[in-house]
Structure 1
Amino acid sequence: MKIALITDLHANAQAFSAVLEHAQANGATDYALLGDFVGYGGDPGWVLNKVMELVAAGAVAVRGNHDVAVTQGTAPNMREEARKAVEWTHARLDSRQLAFLSELPLTVSREDRLFVHANAYDPAGWDYIQGRIEAMRSLHATQARFTFCGHMHEPMLYHLSGTGKAGEFTPAADVTIPLLPNRQWLVIPGSCGQPRDGNPAACYALFDSISAELSFQRVPYDVEAAAASIRAAGLPERLALRLLQGE
């Protein structure tokens, strides 16, 4: 079974649509949606409706910090442009969509896999996995062989051996990586809706649960249209520029 791992959609309909089309063309039979479906982008309703449709068909979905902010209010430390996007988004979602966001779990466990937005050690604290220290803390917090998480907008792969040896890997696109059985793995697919590694192409990953093989993917999409949607919504110009620049 090939699982498409998609995270940090951020109301980017163009990126999400392109990723779904790419995943289907490459044999995806299931989907894991790792949170932050809203915020920043100009099409929260469309994105949420598509997420809800996939969940109804059996996809995994977990809650991200922007999803919480839209339903519960922004945190004091949220940046002004993000706060404006959250407030704008809340006013444009209907009660059904808001209820869906508020009822999403923080984590989902299936067999040897853990799905979470931020990390395994404190899912509601929203700490970022910025390097090996946080990654190892997350891996030590779970017995799952595979942890899949978002929150960080750049693709990354970490592993922990049975002897406690840690490693990290910045992946290249479309390269098959065997996830060896004597290790725990932490997979960060990178952001679908707002990549931040200088490449505006949407990120996601494909995981084969039978062969335990992983590939990170980059999907070009109509970034100009996504930026235009942000501008048409009256959201901060900086949010449109970040998409165009991949930051």
Structure 2
Amino acid sequence: MRFAAIADIHGNCAALTAVLDDVAALGIRDIVNLGDCFSGPLDAGRTADLLLLLDMNAVQTVRGNHDRYLLETPPEAMGRSDAHAHALLAPRHFEWLRKLPTSMVWREEVFLCHATPQQDDVYWLDSVSGEGKVVLRPQAQIERFAEGVEQSLILCGHSHLPRVVTLSDGRMIVNPGSVGCPAYHDDEPVPHDVENGHALACYAILEENERGWAPQFRTVGYDHMAASRLAADAGRADWASALATGRMG
């Protein structure tokens, strides 16, 4: 089995298009999408149209926390990134979001979720220290989140950081990184920045061979400065910096 995993597009249609072109150039047809599709000061509507088209071609998608916020939070109470996306989405896009599962088993061997199986807004492979440093989560905590998941390959997103962790029983957890948002600031559980340090779109290829799963992380260039200008035009200097440099200012 060989397929691509994408996550955390965040309305960045240009980055998504570049990743899809790279996937096609490699001859890969199967793609799974781990959620947080639209939220951000970018191209939520165009991104949604593209994802709906992909959905008709059997791309499997699970719902992320920001996808849930777009459905459950009144527009006047949304954060700026969600509110910007909400205003650009059409009824058909919201209907597609409503149909997405929070997790799923794909082809019997692969478990898909956005963050953890239990919650869509908790980092699985990473934790945040009291000083706001993002670090690898202790193995015992990672294993605890994986209790009850039987599949040999587990895919998650949410942190935007490409990472692979092997569990004590041989199962593998992979975060493919973020297609469309290489850096961001969050206030929960304490204020912290997540920074990839580059402006490239990230995704992963997963291939199963006689030795098990072999993940390959890929980065793809695109016109990230156009995306940065789009964010700046929307009044989001934080996003403009993240998209231009992969750092928060």
TM-score normalised by the shorter chain: which range applies? 0.7 to 0.9
Deviations 1:99-152 (A, max 9, x none): 1112211011021110100012x134x211212344222222411111001001
Q: What percent of counterpart residues are identical? A: 29
The CA distance in 1 between the partners of 2:83 and 2:41, in whole Å, is: 12
The CA distance in 1 between the partners of 2:138 and 2:24, in whole Å, is: 32
Output the aligned Cα RMSD.
Answer: 2.0
Do 2:11 and 2:85's aligned partners in 1 also have CA atoms closer than 8 Å?
Answer: no
Q: Does 1:90 align with 2:86?
A: yes
The CA distance in 1 between the partners of 2:56 and 2:20, in whole Å, is: 16
The CA distance in 1 between the partners of 2:219 and 2:85, in whole Å, is: 27
Q: Does 1:127 align with 2:133?
A: no
5 Å-filtered alignment, 1:161-240, equals 161-162=168-169, 183-195=170-182, 196-209=195-208, 212-232=213-233, 234-240=234-240
Matched residue of 2:87: which SS?
helix
Matched residue of 2:79: which SS?
helix
Structure 1 residue runs without a partner (length 5+) = 163-182
Deviations 1:171-195 (A, max 9, x none): xxxxxxxxxxxx1000001111012
Do 2:164 and 2:172's aligned partners in 1 also have CA atoms closer than 8 Å?
Answer: yes
Alignment length, in residue pairs? Answer: 219
Do 2:40 and 2:84's aligned partners in 1 also have CA atoms closer than 8 Å?
Answer: no
The CA distance in 2 between the partners of 1:141 and 1:205, in whole Å, is: 25
TM-score (ref. length: structure 2): 0.82
The CA distance in 1 between the partners of 2:41 and 2:4, in whole Å, is: 21
TM-score (ref. length: structure 1): 0.83
The CA distance in 2 between the partners of 1:88 and 1:201, in whole Å, is: 23
Tell me the amino acid that sits aligned with residue 111 of structure 2. Answer: L
Q: CA deviation at 1:85?
A: 1.6
